């Protein structure tokens, strides 16, 4: 049997040095696998493409190992990864389309055996379509990266952050306790995720309507509805810094693209009525949390005017009556593996 092929896509936006560090980790971890790494510069326009191209050459990596590409347009996380996946399908790996696609953040650094563990897990479990890693910070603290799909009840619980409400809706709480063992979950963070090519053949690539956030949640939900499961593979460990390109940790106000992505996720997957109820549930839960914080003299930890911005965003969308249609990218049927 011919060895399976693996395409790793690392998306860069204005972090060339860190992206090269991430690529170094992947080159090391892909040793012995039949694979290739594509670094996609998402139109940084800051010299990233030239710096990474020079860095690849300086490290002596061949084009068969690592290649740097320029997307030419910053369409966000999903669009940038779609560009890399499509280029990988067109270019092939030793004249074959990749069997597995590994999505790796530019600030994610796989530990010993992390990529091979995901690869082997998908090899052993043919009905598993996607596999995500256990992710921790540079300080060793584990990150919450295993989740249930968002729901109306989950929005209320997540915004309220109140024990009795959380117990009432315990089966809707979106963040799962960090798994101690490999297990099936609804969705996992896209910082380190391996996808079987057949999944993308079934459901298409990332929905490019999302600029940032919710795109991997949407992809996992579409895969789930098509009958593919996702496993959180505890033995695959990856260090992740987090929010380097997006600046999420320092947001003063919630950006428009986050609100757009959240609303689009609910509308495209559940309909307008469900999206309206989910937003209402979040506003009610958030209002309750704000009242408790005020009475206790504590901070909610939310960006300034978060609930007001969410309410205004939902109201404007309702008045426009022109919610965006999904820009889902279908798998290119003409680019299936070449016959051996």
Q: What CA–CA distance (Å, rounded) separates 109 from 132?
A: 14
Q: Tokens 């084009």 — which residue?
A: 63
Answer whether residue 151 is part of any domain: no
Same domain for 262 and 205: no
Average the pLDDT over 120-139 and give the result. Answer: 96
Average the pLDDT over 174-181 and give the result. Answer: 96
Q: What CA–CA distance (Å, rounded) separates 238 from 108?
A: 6
Average the pLDDT over 139-154 and give the result. Answer: 96
Least confident of 98-112, 119-133, 144-158, 313-327: 313-327
Mean pLDDT in the chain?
92
Domain boundary among 200, 216, 243: 243
| pLDDT number for residue 248 | 58
Domain boundary among 227, 243, 259: 243
**Residue 313 lies in domain:** 250-320
Same domain for 87 and 11: yes
pLDDT value at 336 more than 80: no
Answer whether residue 147 is part of any domain: no
Query: If 0-12 CB within 10 Å is exposed, 13-18 middle and 19+ buried, where does residue 32 land?
Result: exposed
Q: What CA–CA distance (Å, rounded) separates 211 from 11?
A: 13
Same domain for 271 and 197: no
Answer whether residue 170 is part of any domain: no
Same domain for 272 and 192: no
pLDDT value at 246 more than 80: no
Same domain for 204 and 131: yes
| pLDDT number for residue 97 | 87
| pLDDT number for residue 321 | 62
| pLDDT number for residue 242 | 74
Distances (CA, A) of 282 to 112, 153, 170: 40, 9, 16
Answer whether residue 15 is part of any domain: yes
Angle value at C-alpha 216, between 212 and 221, nearest 5 degrees: 135
By C-alpha distance, which of 85, 90, 91, 108 is closest to 29? Answer: 108
| pLDDT number for residue 337 | 43
Same domain for 257 and 235: no
Distances (CA, A) of 97 to 61, 94, 200, 201: 21, 8, 13, 12
Answer whether residue 186 is part of any domain: yes
Average the pLDDT over 41-65 and give the result. Answer: 96
Average the pLDDT over 262-287 and give the result. Answer: 96
Higher pLDDT, 297 or 266: 266
Total number of domains in the chain = 2
pLDDT digits (tens, 9 = 90+) for 70-92: 999 999 999 999 999 999 999 88
Answer whether residue 159 is part of any domain: no
CATH code for the domain of 182: 3.90.550.10
């Amino acid at each position: 049997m011919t060895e399976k092929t693996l395409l790793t896509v690392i998306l860069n936006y204005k972090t060339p040095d860190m992206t090269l560090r991430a690529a170094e980790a992947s080159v090391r971890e892909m040793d012995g696998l039949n694979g290739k790494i594509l670094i996609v510069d998402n139109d940084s326009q800051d010299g990233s493409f030239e710096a990474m191209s020079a860095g690849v050459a300086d490290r002596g990596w061949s084009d068969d190992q690592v290649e740097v590409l320029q997307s030419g347009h910053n369409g966000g996380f999903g669009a940038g990864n779609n560009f890399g996946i499509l280029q990988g399908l067109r270019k092939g790996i030793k004249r074959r389309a990749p069997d597995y696609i590994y999505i790796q953040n530019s600030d994610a650094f796989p530990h010993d055996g992390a990529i091979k563990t995901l690869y082997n897990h998908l090899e052993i479990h043919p009905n598993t379509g996607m596999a995500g890693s256990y992710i921790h910070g540079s300080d060793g603290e584990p990150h919450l990266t295993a989740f249930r799909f968002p729901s109306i009840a989950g929005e209320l619980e997540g915004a309220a952050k109140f024990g009795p409400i959380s117990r009432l809706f315990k089966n809707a709480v979106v963040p799962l306790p960090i798994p101690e063992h490999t297990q099936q979950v609804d969705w996992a963070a896209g910082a380190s995720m391996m996808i079987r090519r057949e999944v993308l053949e079934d459901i298409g690539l990332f929905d490019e309507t999302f600029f940032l956030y919710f795109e991997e949640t949407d992809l996992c939900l579409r895969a789930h509805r098509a009958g593919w499961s996702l496993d959180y593979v505890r033995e695959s460990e990856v260090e992740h810094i987090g929010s380097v390109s997006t600046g999420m940790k320092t947001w003063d106000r919630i950006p428009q693209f986050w609100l757009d992505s959240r609303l689009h996720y609910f509308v495209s997957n559940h309909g307008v009525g469900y999206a309206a109820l989910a937003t209402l549930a979040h506003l009610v839960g958030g209002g309750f949390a704000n009242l408790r914080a005020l009475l206790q003299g504590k901070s909610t930890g939310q960006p300034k005017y978060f609930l007001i911005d969410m309410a205004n965003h939902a109201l404007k969308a309702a008045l426009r009556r022109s919610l965006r249609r999904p820009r889902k990218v279908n798998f290119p049927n003409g680019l299936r593996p070449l016959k051996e």
